[in-house]
Structures are given as structure tokens and as C-alpha cells.
């Protein structure tokens, strides 16, 4: 496989993992904080994960088609439709895989431990993808890895805060789950 093919394929993988991890980590942290209910976390995580995977794949596909059109107009290298479809499928598959990895701790651990385990796994995934993106970009793998981890932490922190506020509002209004 050519180096350019590897990079083309990795775009879908990176897109699916990064968006999947950040989105689903935010959902599970927010729902867990708001409801303190693992069942609600599982339902919300799986539903959001599937919706996110479809959104990721459609967004990736549309973006790749737009990029192809731009490259055609500028007489640059144009990705084949096979590469575009492969990247789209990889984005979908890795969004689903990210969902499964982030949600699984809630099936086997208590709520607090599941939140911590999901966070650790998510940050490890983001670190790994960031390092690969840095290497493929001929930049510092460490800088990219740390940047991706910080983005994941920011998303998780924001989701935790929103979940805490929503949880208080639901409890105050007697709409507890």
C-alpha cells in the first residue's frame, strides 16, 4: 500500500475516533453526572453513538467530495471514489468502535469507576491518534498528542459541568430519572 493511500485511509480513522471519542465521552460523562444512572448512560451513549457515527460518515463523505471538486478545479491530486468511500466507511466504523469502548465500562463497573475508566480509555485513544497525526504531518507527535488530550479533557469537563447543572435542575423540579 502506498504512503498516500495509508494517509488517505487514516483520515477516516482519525475523524471517526476523535469525533466519536469526544462526542460520546461528553454524552456519557454528562448523562452520568446528571442522572447517576448507568442504564440511562448506556441508552444515551448507544443512541448518541449510532447517530454520531451516521453524522460522522455523512459529514466525512460530503467533505471529501468537496475536497475532490476543489482539487479537480486546481489540477491537484484527486482522491479516487474508492478512497473516499473507504474513508467514509472507516469514519463510520471507528465512530461505532469509539462508542463501544467508551460505553462498555458502564456495563461492568459502578458509575464512578466507569466514568474514570471511560475517561482514561478516551484520553489514551486521543493521545494515540494525536501522535499518529503528528507523525504523518511531519510535526511533533507529542504536541499533537497533548493537544488532542487537552481537547478531550475540555469536552469532558464541560460535559461534567453541564450534567451537574442539569442534574440539579431535574432534581429541583422533581423530574428525577
| Average pLDDT estimate for 15-42 | 90
Digit-coded pLDDT (tens) for 89-136: 888 898 999 999 999 999 999 999 999 999 999 999 999 999 998 888
Q: Which of 143, 142, 98, 154 minimizes the C-alpha distance to 121?
A: 98
Q: How far apart are CA 133 and CA 51, in angstroms?
A: 25
One-character DSSP codes across 140-168: -HHHHHHHHHHHHHHHHHHHHHHHHHHHH
Q: Is 141 exposed, middle or buried (0-12, 13-18, 19+ CB in 10 A)?
A: middle
Instruction: Show the cell assigned to 82.
Output: 474508492
CB atoms within 10 A of CB 73: 8
Give domain limits for the chain.
3-172
| Average pLDDT estimate for 58-83 | 74
Look at residue 4 in the predicted model and tell me its pLDDT. Answer: 52
CB 29 within 8 A of CB 156: yes
Beta strands in the chain (DSSP E): none
Digit-coded pLDDT (tens) for 10-27: 777 887 888 889 999 999
Q: How far apart are CA 91 and CA 86, in angstroms?
A: 9
Percentage of residues in the chain with pLDDT exceeding 70?
Answer: 85
Q: Which of 37, 23, 24 minimizes the C-alpha distance to 167?
A: 37
Packed helices 111-136 and 38-73: angle between N→C axes, nearest 10 degrees: 10
First-to-last C-alpha distance (Å) of the chain? 51
Q: How far apart are CA 24 and CA 2, in angstroms?
A: 33
Among 84-88, 90-94, 144-148, whose mean pLDDT is lowest? 84-88
Look at residue 19 in the predicted model and tell me its pLDDT. Answer: 85
Residue 161 neighbours by CB under 8 Å, 6+ apart: none
Q: Is the pLDDT of residue 3 over 90?
A: no
Amino acid at each position: 500500500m502506498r504512503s498516500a493511500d495509508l494517509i488517505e485511509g487514516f483520515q477516516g480513522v482519525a475523524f471517526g475516533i476523535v469525533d466519536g471519542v469526544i462526542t460520546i465521552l461528553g454524552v456519557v460523562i454528562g448523562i452520568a453526572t446528571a442522572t447517576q444512572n448507568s442504564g440511562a448512560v448506556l441508552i444515551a451513549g448507544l443512541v448518541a453513538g449510532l447517530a454520531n457515527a451516521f453524522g460522522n460518515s455523512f459529514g466525512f463523505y460530503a467533505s471529501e467530495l468537496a475536497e475532490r471538486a476543489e482539487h479537480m478545479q486546481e489540477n491537484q491530486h484527486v482522491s479516487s471514489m474508492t478512497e473516499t468511500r473507504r474513508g467514509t466507511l472507516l469514519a463510520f466504523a471507528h465512530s461505532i468502535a469509539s462508542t463501544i469502548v467508551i460505553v462498555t465500562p458502564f456495563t461492568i463497573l459502578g458509575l464512578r469507576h466507569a466514568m474514570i475508566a471511560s475517561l482514561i480509555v478516551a484520553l489514551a485513544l486521543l493521545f494515540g491518534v494525536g501522535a499518529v497525526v503528528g507523525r504523518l504531518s511531519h510535526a511533533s507527535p507529542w504536541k499533537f498528542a497533548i493537544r488532542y488530550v487537552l481537547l478531550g479533557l475540555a469536552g469532558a469537563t464541560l460535559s461534567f459541568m453541564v450534567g451537574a447543572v442539569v442534574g440539579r435542575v431535574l432534581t429541583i423540579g422533581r423530574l428525577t430519572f
